[in-house]
A = this chain, B = another copy of it.
Amino acid sequence: MGRWEPDARGRLLKAAFELYGERGFDQTTVAEIAQRAGLTERTFFRHFADKREVLFAGAGALQDLLVSTVAKAPESMTPIEAAAAGVEAAGAAIQETGQLARQRQAIVLTSAELRERELIKLSSLAAALAHTLRRRGVEEPEASLAAEAGMAVFRIAFERWVADAAPGDLPQLIRESLERLKAVTAGGRAVAAGRRE
């Protein structure tokens, strides 16, 4: 690293998110991000591989948090409870970033390339979650099913949290989403009589 730049990473993140929101992801260059942050392109590339990775920079830390939460969950927890504890912890961390996660999601949705990258990251998270459950002694296919169920619960709660004008409590939405999944898989809530056409 070169000379000390106070919170260069944070400034670059903020500048990139602003520009992606203002002009669109495709229309923004690394040079413009660096300029807006009052830093050089070289400094940008010390922190991020490219302009896409600015949006996925938090994925590693999120996966670490999810995995360590599941690994440390009490042994008495069932696989689905452990998976839910992991995605709830991830949800709490996302909520702490405040407006950033919602801004980020709005940007990701504008680009097919970014949506694809997001799918891949979510798939990696599901695989890491299943792996961690197997390390807890959960057999297959239960480990993968609990991991997929946990990720579905997370995604659907997150989409609702992002869509709500007045954002609710994300960990609470995740718990509610799990309860609804339990009701759905138990076969509850039969199809309504009146179809919508």
Contact = CB atoms under 8 A, between A and B. Distances in A.
Identical copies in the complex: 2
Contacts of A159: 144
A27 interface: no
Contact of A184 (B75, B149, B195): B149
B184 A146 contact: yes
16 contacts: A76-B191, A77-B190, A79-B189, A81-B187, A116-B120, A119-B120, A135-B197, A136-B191, A136-B196, A137-B196, A138-B191, A138-B192, A141-B160, A142-B183, A148-B148, A149-B181
Contacts of A153: 145
Nearest to A178: B185
A156 interface: yes
Given A75-B191, A119-B119, A185 B148 contact: no
